[in-house]
């Protein structure tokens, strides 16, 4: 296992060094995002975006991952330290850093102590851009909150998610129902842009005589 880890680290270093060579003295931007994994650790991914030229002389933007790690704290200073250590290690040119893209959280977006403000002190040309995917998610949340029917639907889905994930027994029962033919869904509500087919599938499960009888101890008439 130790040899495998060393081999993977060597491969990672070779890939990252190749990316750095391709960036060279060209302008580049940094993209950073974080999320909690199943073990409740904060996983942080850092990417660079820059321009490459193909064999026919056409210029096109590319995005490449250069680091993935975990953090115990997600303050703007901790994130800045992680970025600075990586940039210094790879000897990337701060003067060529022309953009930075994160979500709209205070530790990223803050105009006084946010990561984008701290990084601009070192790279004045690094224009901050709020991640379009995160903005779309916020817009969809507000749009879906405008109708009572959609709010009720999402509320019911949230209750179902809590119900099935809150007890091992219920999760097992749901798994048994999936094995009987409904395999095209999962109970994940990380985004308000939910698939209504999930609602119909789970609704049918809740109307199943066997499932209701096992959960409630009663048989529907």
User: What is the set of domains in the chain, with CATH numbers?
Assistant: 2-130 (3.30.420), 147-216 (no CATH)
Whether the per-residue pLDDT at 203 is higher than 80: the answer is no
Which pLDDT tens digit goes with each residue over 35-63? 887 777 889 999 999 999 988 989 999 99
Q: How many helices (H) and strands (E) does the chain have?
A: 9, 5
Strand-pairing partners, residue 71, are: 42
Residue 208 has a pLDDT of 54
CA 66 to chain centre: 16
Confidence of residue 218 (pLDDT cuts 50, 70, 90): very low
| Average confidence score pLDDT of the chain | 80
Which pLDDT tens digit goes with each residue over 129-178? 887 777 777 777 777 777 787 778 777 877 877 777 777 777 777 777 77
Provide the token pair at 42: 């904060």
């Amino acid at each position: 296992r130790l040899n495998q880890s060393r081999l993977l680290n060597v491969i990672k270093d070779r890939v990252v060094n190749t990316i750095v060579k391709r960036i060279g003295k060209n302008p580049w931007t940094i993209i950073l995002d974080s999320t909690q994994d199943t073990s409740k650790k904060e996983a942080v991914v850092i990417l660079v975006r820059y321009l490459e030229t193909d064999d026919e002389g056409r210029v096109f933007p590319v995005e490449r991952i250069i680091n993935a790690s975990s953090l115990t704290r997600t303050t703007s200073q901790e994130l800045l330290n992680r970025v600075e250590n990586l940039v210094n290690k790879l000897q990337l040119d701060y003067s060529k850093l022309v953009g930075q893209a994160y979500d709209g959280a205070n530790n990223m977006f803050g105009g006084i102590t946010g990561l984008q403000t701290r990084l601009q002190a070192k790279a004045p040309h690094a224009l901050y851009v709020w991640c379009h995917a995160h903005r779309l998610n916020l817009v969809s949340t507000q749009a879906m909150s405008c109708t009572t029917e959609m709010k009720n639907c999402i509320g019911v889905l949230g209750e179902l998610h809590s119900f099935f994930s809150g007890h091992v027994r219920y999760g097992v029962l749901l798994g048994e129902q999936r094995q009987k033919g409904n395999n095209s869904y999962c109970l994940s509500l990380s985004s308000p842009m939910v698939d209504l087919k999930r609602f119909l599938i789970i609704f049918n499960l809740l109307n199943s005589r066997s499932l209701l009888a096992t959960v409630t101890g009663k048989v529907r008439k």
